[in-house]
Amino acid sequence: MSIRNNILFILTVFFICTFTRISHAQEHMNFKYLTIENGLSQSTAAAIYQDSRGYIWIGTNEGLNRYNGFEIKVYKSDKYKKGSIVNNYILSLQEDNSNNLWVGTNKGISKINLKTDEITNFECDENGNPFYKVRSILLTERGTLIVITQKNVYLYDEKNNKFTVALHEQEIFKTEDIVDIKEDKSSNIWVGTTKSLIKVDRNTKEIIQYYSDDSGSIIKDDKINSILIDKENNIWVSTSNNGLIKVIIKEGESNEIIRYYHDENDSTTIPSNTTKSMIEDNNGALWIGTDAGLCKYLGNGKFYTYYSNFNDNSLLDDNIYSLMQDSTGLIWVGTYTGINIFEPNNKIIQYKSDPLNDNSLSSNIIQGVYEDDNGLLWIGTKNRGINIMDKDNNKYTRIYAGEGKNHLSSNMIKVITGNKDTVWVGTDYGLNQIDRKTLNIKKYTTEDGLLDDSIESLLVDREGNLWIGTENGINILDNKTGKIKDKTKNMLENVVSDMHIQEIYEDSEGIFWLGTYIQGSLIRLDAETRKCKVYKILDSETKEEISTIKCIAEGKDNILWIGTSEGLIKFDKKNGTSIKYTDEDGLCNNTIHGLLIDDDGNPWVSTNNGISKFDLSKNEFRNLSKAEGLQSNEFNDKSYFKTSDGSFVFGGIKGLNIFDPSDGEELYTDYNPKVTFEEFIVMNEKYKDINNLKFSYSQNDIEIRYFTPQYKNNNLRFYYKLDGITDNWVSTTSNEVVFNKLSPGKYTFRIKAISQNGTMGKEYKVNFTIKPPVWKSEGAVLLYMVIIVLIIYNNSNKVKKLDNLVAIRTEALINEMETNKQLFDKIIKAERSKNNYFINLSHELRTPLNVISSVEQLISNLNRTEKGISKEKIDEYMKVMNKNVKRLLNLINNIIDTTKIENGKYKINLEEENIVYIVEEIALSVRDAIESTGINLIIDTNTEEKIIKCDRNEIERCIINLLSNASKFTPSGGTITVDIEDLGEKVKITVEDTGIGIEEKYHKYIFDRFNQIVDSSMETKGGSGLGLTITKHIIDMHNGEIYIESEVDKGTKFTIILPADGDIEKSIVI
């Protein structure tokens, strides 16, 4: 090897090793923040506290802040304003058992009544000693409030509202300042000074000063910043320059002191020897704030540190002043430049790029993920090459594009896969084959047989062959020969036109499934038989084809899960059917980038708005978002992998997430959201609580403000309603609702919250009443009633006389008006009937007369010819004339009968008759005539005999009218059905046809005189319209009913109901 090559080799190795330097682990928390841009009065948060109602209180160097998740209320000192806090430089916060918040400041103490917001200030004790530097306030298990100042310890006397000195004449306080106070499990009080610890025994009240050695101090040449007593009763001491100290108190023997220092060559030590604030979280983990970041004690002398300055989700600043864990487990971090908030027990791990640390991801834009046999993760990026991540040893190796055998063809990675000792990397400029042992890289492009240099998908099949999907088809790199073959022509040609192969998947049966990018085709490919079948995945609603298939995975029971640009597809391999799931079904977003199947067969998909799990047992989606620790809600294609231990890896636009799907519910920040009423504003007057209060009628504008004391998720929705005003639940994301101009009455306001994952919280309510005005009150109404009764009583006699006169005159007028009305109605009715009568009569008379006249004219003309007219023609014409004469006669008879009916002179004669026989006989008599027109007549009776009282001739006339009407409007080939049914005390006769039918709007006019319903298709049928009118009158005279049922183009049915034996006399005159 030449000297030049040796130098290049050494430089290459050095280049790679440069990026494999071990540093701290890159598991990053997702920090949210709160700054002056969000409304903080000042950035430096020296104290943080959550009160019993859920408010977060933040003490800064310039005022006190109260935060409710929506807005910040600032409390500041103002000597000219009554009710302001004593000083703006806040050092400590504590709530007592009476719901007072105690605020320790640089100069004085303030007490804020949390129920009324009233503020009481204390500037000095009863001896005139100022309350200077109130660094800590303690509420003991017994409810005693203890306050420390720079030189004294005070007890609060609630009864007399004053402070008394607790530890008198302690010499140590003359030389050392008091910095902190805590209570241990045995209720002993521990006071931290700048140099030592003091224990006040709960039982004996003995004061014991503890030192670390014979020199007489816990720390040398330094001072204590704070103390913490953990669940095991160990005392932790933070210092200004001596790191972190753990003191194990041993009664009767020397105390054990463990010191933790910063070592710049060991990233598992504390990040700085300047330690400040400390908390022990709900799981017993110790968190320490330093001037160089936040660190977590891992045990065995190991620490993990979180730093700032590498992305928007990191710490705002490394200088940590205060720590607090809220009721939901979130930890609040007070820094020099604002507040950070994070979930310490997040099961979803983040890996991000740190621009200040080479031992991290080279970029946060992840594109391609693969785990090799050694458990190393190969992570591609959009424009910064490949990272090889060794999670166990916190080590990263970066590979970039460049010349030579150790460089990639391009830094733009698209997809990664591998087998045995080889990792295959697809880029926008060809394929790269990486030897895992030597990291030597062999490159393939179109010059080597690739159909396209843009590699879209890779798959190593069970034979070890590499399938390569490109924008122009499929290549296969033969495992044995190492040659690239074009499989597009002999497999896909003439099968599909879309050769942009976005996904290649081999199922458990060795069948290959291809997904295309442009047309969304799903291709089933049997490599042995070379048979292809194309499935078009259709939208179940629009029936349009899915445009892009992005990923495929096999589930249980022959199901393929397919991620597309338009939702998740459940595809049955056996029958080729599919079901589509979208955001309307609960999927967090329709654009799917990655798809993995857990051990229970449930599909998990990464999208443009989070990760969704489809729970097969519940047939529903559960969603993960940034609130649960995702790097971002947006993910990238080909950036997903299921590791050998079952963990899921998903890459997105801001880093990488790894989690164990079997953690189940622990992955979610789901909880039952609470609602706290903040205040009520009634006509500009503020109330802390209005439950069961009563307001005057003018106090009818009410604003209700509320919040949730759980800060894990800002994407909460509230549902509210005011009984009587809003009957349905109203959805809102606002923390206030206003009701204007409420009417007097009793009201109940109800509200509940729902989390982002759909968990609905309990309902909270408040009752209030708006009273009516005095003149509408119950007393006023009673008074009005008494006055009215008296007036009525005093004037009752006059009213009675007047009523009599009015009644007599009114009765006469009513009688006169009724007579006139009846006369007027009769005249109008007669006039209308007269007009209708003559109009219709002229039309009906004209038609047969015209026919007769025409025939007569024809006969006359034929007689004038030489041949004359034959006898056969005369007979034919005479039949026509006879038919129209009969029509005229029938019309005249109908006119006469209707006239009799109108004049009340039409009579029927009732006899006991067999109605079945009457109907059958009359129907049979016209059967030949009807069936001669091609219409089928069916006579259907359910009984042989039914005796009723009726006028036989008139009933026959009715049946004839209905049959005639039916035959006119039933085309040839149709059917007329006559049916008789015995109903006991009644009999039902129906005449039903399959004719043209009658529109429903005409049904109510069908029995009116001269109201024949006609249209262009019926004009040739003839008829005066009197037949149905007469039929109706005859049935009415029998105390019966007749009604119509008809539908256009389906037919008409007339139904007659007759009583079997009614109170009808033998002769009836209408």
CA-CA distance, 776 to 754, in Å (whole number)? 41
**Same CATH fold assignment for domains 366-667 and 795-905:** no
Q: Is the pLDDT of residue 253 over 50?
A: yes
Quote the mean pLDDT of the chain.
86
CA-CA distance, 276 to 292, in Å (whole number)? 10
pLDDT in tens, 590-626: 999 999 999 999 999 999 999 999 999 999 999 998 8
Q: Is the pLDDT of residue 758 over 90?
A: no
Rounded-to-5 percentages of helix, strand, coil across the chain:
20, 40, 40
Give the least confident one: 179-193, 389-403, 469-483, 493-507: 493-507
Q: In the prediction, which pLDDT does 796 show?
A: 76
Q: In the prediction, which pLDDT does 527 show?
A: 81
Give the right CATH number for 676-775 from 3.40.109.10, 3.30.70.520, 2.60.40.10, 3.40.50.300.
Answer: 2.60.40.10
CA-CA distance, 805 to 803, in Å (whole number)? 5
| Closest C-alpha to 751, from 710, 709, 704 | 704
CATH class for domain 36-166?
mainly beta
CA-CA distance, 1063 to 1044, in Å (whole number)? 26
Q: In the prediction, which pLDDT does 204 show?
A: 83
Q: Is the pLDDT of residue 858 over 80?
A: no
Q: In the prediction, which pLDDT does 820 show?
A: 74
CATH of domain 906-1069: 3.30.565.10
Strand, helix or coil for residue 738? strand
Q: Which two structure tokens, joined as six digits, stand for 985?
A: 């005390």
Q: In the prediction, which pLDDT does 857 show?
A: 66
Q: In the prediction, which pLDDT does 516 show?
A: 92
Give the least confident one: 209-218, 732-741, 781-790, 1048-1057: 209-218
Q: Is the pLDDT of residue 777 over 70?
A: no
Pairing outcome for strands 693-695 and 764-770: parallel
**Topology (CATH level 3) of domain 366-667:** Methylamine Dehydrogenase; Chain H (2.130.10)
Contact 28, 350 (CB under 8 A): yes
Q: Is the pLDDT of residue 1019 over 80?
A: no
| DSSP codes, 461-478 | -TTSPEEEEETTEEEEE-
Q: In the prediction, which pLDDT does 877 show?
A: 67
| Closest C-alpha to 461, from 419, 503, 432 | 419
pLDDT in tens, 30-67: 788 999 999 999 999 999 999 999 999 999 999 999 99
Pairing outcome for strands 947-950 and 531-536: unpaired
Q: Is the pLDDT of residue 776 over 70?
A: no
Partners of 1042 in the beta sheet? 1056
- Which H, E and C letters describe 100-114, residue by residue? EEEEEECEEEEEEEC
Q: Is the pLDDT of residue 286 over 50?
A: yes
Residues 6+ apart with CB under 8 A from 624: 348, 610, 611, 612, 613, 630, 667, 668
Between 23 and 420, residue with greater pLDDT: 420
Q: In the prediction, which pLDDT does 925 show?
A: 87
User: How far, in Å, are 820, 969, 1013, 1023 from residue 1019 at the CA level?
Assistant: 41, 11, 10, 10
CA-CA distance, 181 to 288, in Å (whole number)? 17
| DSSP codes, 608-671 | TTEEEEEETTTTEEEEE-GGGT-S-S-EEEEEEEE-TTS-EEEEETTEEEEE-GGGGGGG----
CA angle 450-451-455, nearest 5°? 75
CA-CA distance, 327 to 50, in Å (whole number)? 8
Q: Which two structure tokens, joined as six digits, stand for 879?
A: 């039949």
Q: In the prediction, which pLDDT does 181 show?
A: 96
pLDDT in tens, 542-575: 677 888 999 999 999 999 999 999 999 999 999 9
Which of the four pLDDT bands, split at 50, 70 and 90, describes residue 15? Answer: very low
Which of the four pLDDT bands, split at 50, 70 and 90, describes residue 23? Answer: very low
Q: Is the pLDDT of residue 1066 over 50?
A: no
E-state strands within 106-168: 108-113, 119-122, 136-139, 145-148, 153-157, 162-165
CA-CA distance, 982 to 407, in Å (whole number)? 100
CA-CA distance, 1031 to 1014, in Å (whole number)? 19
CA-CA distance, 853 to 784, in Å (whole number)? 86
Q: In the prediction, which pLDDT does 408 show?
A: 97
Q: In the prediction, which pLDDT does 223 show?
A: 87
The fraction of the chain above a pLDDT of 90, given in percent, is 60
Which of the four pLDDT bands, split at 50, 70 and 90, describes residue 14? Answer: very low
Q: In the prediction, which pLDDT does 19 show?
A: 34
Q: In the prediction, which pLDDT does 1020 show?
A: 39
- The overall longest dimension of the chain from CA atoms, in Å, is 165
Pairing outcome for strands 936-941 and 975-982: parallel
Q: Is the pLDDT of residue 221 over 60?
A: yes
Domain 795-905 annotated CATH 3.30.565.10? no
CA-CA distance, 1033 to 619, in Å (whole number)? 66
Give the least confident one: 7-11, 211-215, 935-939, 1062-1066: 7-11
Please, what sign has the CA dihedral across residues 540, 541, 544, 550? negative
| Closest C-alpha to 75, from 92, 59, 51, 55 | 59
pLDDT in tens, 379-391: 999 999 999 999 8
Q: Which two structure tokens, joined as six digits, stand for 998?
A: 């009658």
What separation, in Å, do the N-terminal and C-terminal C-alpha atoms of the chain show? 133
pLDDT in tens, 326-376: 998 999 999 999 999 998 888 899 998 888 788 899 999 999 999 999 999
Mean pLDDT of 464-474: 94
Give the least confident one: 96-105, 809-818, 975-984: 809-818
pLDDT in tens, 628-667: 889 999 999 999 999 999 999 999 999 999 999 999 888 8
Mean pLDDT of 962-973: 91
CA-CA distance, 817 to 134, in Å (whole number)? 98
Q: Is the pLDDT of residue 1024 over 70?
A: no
Q: In the prediction, which pLDDT does 93 show?
A: 98
Q: In the prediction, which pLDDT does 829 show?
A: 65
Q: Is the pLDDT of residue 822 over 90?
A: no
CA-CA distance, 278 to 44, in Å (whole number)? 17
Between 253 and 444, residue with greater pLDDT: 444
CA-CA distance, 1000 to 304, in Å (whole number)? 83
Q: Is the pLDDT of residue 5 over 60?
A: no
Task: Spell out the domain ranges in the chain.
Answer: 36-166, 366-667, 676-775, 795-905, 906-1069
Residue with token string 């309990």: 762
User: How far, in Å, are 293, 846, 873 from residue 855 at the CA level?
Assistant: 119, 14, 11
Residues 6+ apart with CB under 8 A from 141: 183, 187
Residue 699 DSSP label:
-
Q: In the prediction, which pLDDT does 1 show?
A: 42
pLDDT in tens, 142-191: 999 999 999 999 999 999 999 999 886 667 777 788 999 999 999 999 99
